[in-house]
A = this chain, B = another copy of it.
Amino acid sequence: MRRLFLLCSLTIPFFCHAQSTAPENILPYVHPIVGTQRMGHTYPGASAPFGMVQLSPDTDTIPYEQNGRYNPDVYKYCAGYQYDDKTIVGFSHTHFSGTGHSDLGDFLLMPTTGELKLNPGVSSQARSGFRSAFSHATEVAEADYYKVRLEDYDILAELTATTRVGFHQYTFPASEQAHIILDLMHGIYNYEDKNVWSFVRVENDTLITGYRQTNGWGRTRTVYFAMTFSKPFYQYGSHSYSRRQVYRGFWGKFDQDHNFPDLAGRQLRMHFDFRTRQGEKIKCKFALSSVSTEGALLNLRMELPGWDFEEARRQGQEAWNAELGKVRIEAGPAEKVNFYTSLYHAFINPTVYMDVDGSYRGLDQLNHKADGFVNYTTFSLWDTHRALHPLFNIVQPRRNMDMIRSMLVHYQQSAEHMLPIWSHYANENWCMSGYHAVSVIADAIVKSDNFSDGNRALDACIATSDHRSFEGLGAYIDKGYIPAGSSGTSVSTTLEYAYDDWCIAQAAKKLGRMDVYATYMKRSENYKNVFDPSIGYMRPRLADGSFRTEFDVLSTNGQGFIEGNAWNYSLYVPHDPTSLITMLGGKKRFVAHLDSLFTMELPDKFFAETEDITRDGIIGNYVHGNEPSHHVAYLYNWTDQPWKTQERVRMILEKQYHPTPDGLGGNDDCGQMSAWYVFTALGFYPVAPGSADYSLGSPAVDKAVIQLDNGKTFTVVAKDQGVKNVYVKKVTLNGQPLNRRVITHSEIMGGGELVFYMSAKH
């Protein structure tokens, strides 16, 4: 490319000349706004691929509690933004994408003019605080770029980000009273005591450093920052909103609220004051670090030394084009938006968690240096082991390997000596069931020819799966199941352990450790121990071996399951569908069970207890917004009616994904929902990560070219596919008929062409 530029640059613009060979700009198909309405829990702001900074508008600061009780409305704000809101509180620097519990929202900046307001105010009352009205008409949300007009102040706010630095550009009106507010109290899932401590130093008239420490989902979480303005403020101030702070050490020595450079406390807000000309841009670069203010400064200086906002945006968007361009598809415009927005949502987490020099804060609260890898955090593994990490295994193998190394250092630093369950920012929050890091590790070991230090990784898997005091594991090891009563999720957790154990066995087999293989293959059959053949469902079982009598196959709550009832979880043996089908009464009965799942009418009372999803997220009793059934539509492939897989997956694609703000029927769950879309649209899906097989479905793109890291390309062609043409007549791989319902990982990585011949009839 550089050579080409040299040849043509003397005469005509590069892009003009190179247009025919330049890859298509993918960014128009990326709509970060998708999923911001209702249950998607995505955020519309700016982020570099897998970036440490997620700089995004927050539309409300709903408290976690009201009148001392959990406030269910807080759930809407897992990502800080709800599309239906009319005001923006400000722009904060960290956000989860698609989670069903939350945290973060660190360091909210808000530009204002006029009378200084240090309280955010309430959305129901105009101008009651520093928040501003806004309209979607002035809002632009692209990959790594966000723009909105703050109507109360006539300020145009623009955001972009490098991996570790948020870049704000605020275009002010003429004002003698222009302010930029730094709110250190603001946070997502913010309850009274969440802020543990904050500390700020005003180093000079353009540079501020500090940190905030919180006790939230991340139990002991500290984020350091360094922020710098393009223009010196002429004065600044702060206010402490702490309930109390006995000794701040002033005794009249200083006026702490004005121009005092040395602040600390639990609840602080600051303001920096400017005078602006009409149309004057004040820019702010805001760098993060998990290690120190020094680390944040280093990130700032190394990643974003200049002040050219447009250039930073251009580079950020170029990086996105490069990442998303790893899969180039031909499809209808709506499908392209769905596809690339999904790929975008898949590529913003896990997030980089180290400074430019490799330093990061570990689980042991010590500072470490990532030695030869990029350290990542935010592992929502109960969700993402299913499709997101397998997707990475194909299109982001290096990052996936680094994520595994990140999990292994987590293991080394963990006081419990366990791999991550659900971890973020050097904390383990233990959310959800199983120990699915072993699935990610096994999937990589099984699919890789050069997984380094596999035995060490396997040892970490074994240690994790042998931690007897972890949720029911002791009993599971002894009895083969978790007794009902000792856990509210005894059945689903037993099933997930069994799948995880099969993963460990697969990795052990690949590594030639056949004793481990034998042990864990045996454990992988434990799913049988919670199956009640008398009713044909998985069912809670008591310590004495009897099944619990009080039991409803449609109920989730307290019935031994989580995010899925017995009807769904009875299908959760991803590692051995054949045996499952036999256990459930053979293929015919199995198909009937599957069919009923998609077609039954779920009584209202069970809908009420279904978590994390809108009514649209439910198809019959199939809940796509929750993950335990993500493999289910592919199970028809093990029956005599594989065409039903093709039909169902297309139906799910169509019903559950839309290129609109409300386009996601349930939480995106750190990209798992999106990764399901990407795989399914490409025509294959990893039913059991840890296996090198992908189950074939029904591609929803005309063509896809996957650029592999090994230099090869793997192309999927779906001849004649369309809304009606969802059935697969024939499949060829590299021109040869593929007479099976799977392709293997090595077939993909070997490059070549997979052609589906589609039809309106099965």
Contact = CB atoms under 8 A, between A and B. Distances in A.
Interface of A: 64, 191-194, 196-197, 199, 201-203, 211, 213, 215-217, 219-220, 243-255, 259-262, 264-266, 292-294, 364-367, 414-416, 421, 427-431, 469-471, 487-488
A293 to B, nearest CB: 7
A415 B251 contact: no
Contacts of A245: 193, 215
Nearest to A197: B196
A91 B253 CA distance: 35
Given A197-B213, A365-B211, A415 B247 contact: no
B264 A220 contact: yes
From A201, A245, A294, A428, residue with most partner B Cβ within 10 Å: A201
A251 B430 contact: yes
B262 A429 contact: no
- Helix, strand, loop or mixed for chain A's interface? loop
A82 B220 CA distance: 36
Contacts of A197: 196-197, 213, 215, 220
A245 B213 CA distance: 14
A314 to B, nearest CB: 34
Contacts of A249: 217, 219, 427-431
B365 A199 contact: yes
Contacts of A246: 64, 191, 193-194, 215-216
B220 A199 contact: yes
Contact of A415 (B201, B216, B217, B421): B201
A469 B261 CA distance: 11
Q: Which 7 A-B pairs have the closest CB atoms?
A: A262-B415, A249-B429, A261-B415, A253-B430, A201-B415, A253-B471, A249-B430
A243 B244 CA distance: 15
Nearest to A258: B469
A547 to B, nearest CB: 21
B219 A247 contact: yes
A294 B430 contact: no
A471 B252 contact: yes
B293 A366 contact: yes
A217 B247 contact: yes
A250 B430 contact: yes
A196 B199 contact: no
A196 B193 contact: no
B247 A216 contact: yes
A428 B244 CA distance: 19
Given A249-B430, A250-B430, 4 more contacts: A201-B415, A219-B264, A254-B430, A293-B365
A211 B197 CA distance: 15
A365 B222 CA distance: 13
A416 B365 contact: no
B429 A261 contact: no
B253 A470 contact: yes
Contacts of A415: 201-203, 261-262
13 contacts: A64-B246, A202-B415, A203-B415, A215-B265, A217-B247, A219-B249, A247-B429, A253-B471, A254-B416, A254-B469, A260-B469, A292-B367, A293-B365
A557 to B, nearest CB: 14
Contact of A219 (B211, B248, B254): B248
Contacts of A264: 215, 219-220
Contacts of A220: 197, 199, 264
A217 B246 CA distance: 8
A243 B68 CA distance: 13
Contacts of A421: 253
B364 A261 contact: no
A366 B429 contact: no
Nearest to A292: B366
A470 B216 contact: no
A202 B469 CA distance: 15
A470 B254 contact: yes
A294 B261 CA distance: 31
- Most-contacted residue by chain B among A245, A247, A264 (CB, 10 A): A247
Nearest to A220: B264
A138 B219 CA distance: 45
Contacts of A252: 471, 487-488
Nearest to A255: B469
A247 B215 CA distance: 7
Contacts of A192: 244
Contacts of A196: 196-197
A245 B194 CA distance: 8
Contacts of A261: 415-416
Nearest to A70: B246
A556 to B, nearest CB: 15
Contacts of A219: 247-249, 264
A293 B364 contact: yes
A243 B193 contact: yes
Contacts of A470: 253-254
Contacts of A293: 364-366
A187 to B, nearest CB: 12
Contacts of A215: 197, 245-247, 264-265
Contacts of A211: 365
Nearest to A211: B365
A297 to B, nearest CB: 10
Given A246-B216, A262-B416, A431 B251 contact: yes
A470 B264 CA distance: 18
Contacts of A203: 415
Contacts of A367: 292
A739 to B, nearest CB: 46
A196 B245 CA distance: 11
Contact of A244 (B193, B217, B259, B266): B193
Contacts of A260: 469
Nearest to A487: B252
A251 B432 CA distance: 9
Contacts of A294: 366
Nearest to A254: B469
A292 B361 CA distance: 12
Nearest to A262: B415
A740 to B, nearest CB: 40
A252 B216 CA distance: 17
Contacts of A366: 292-294
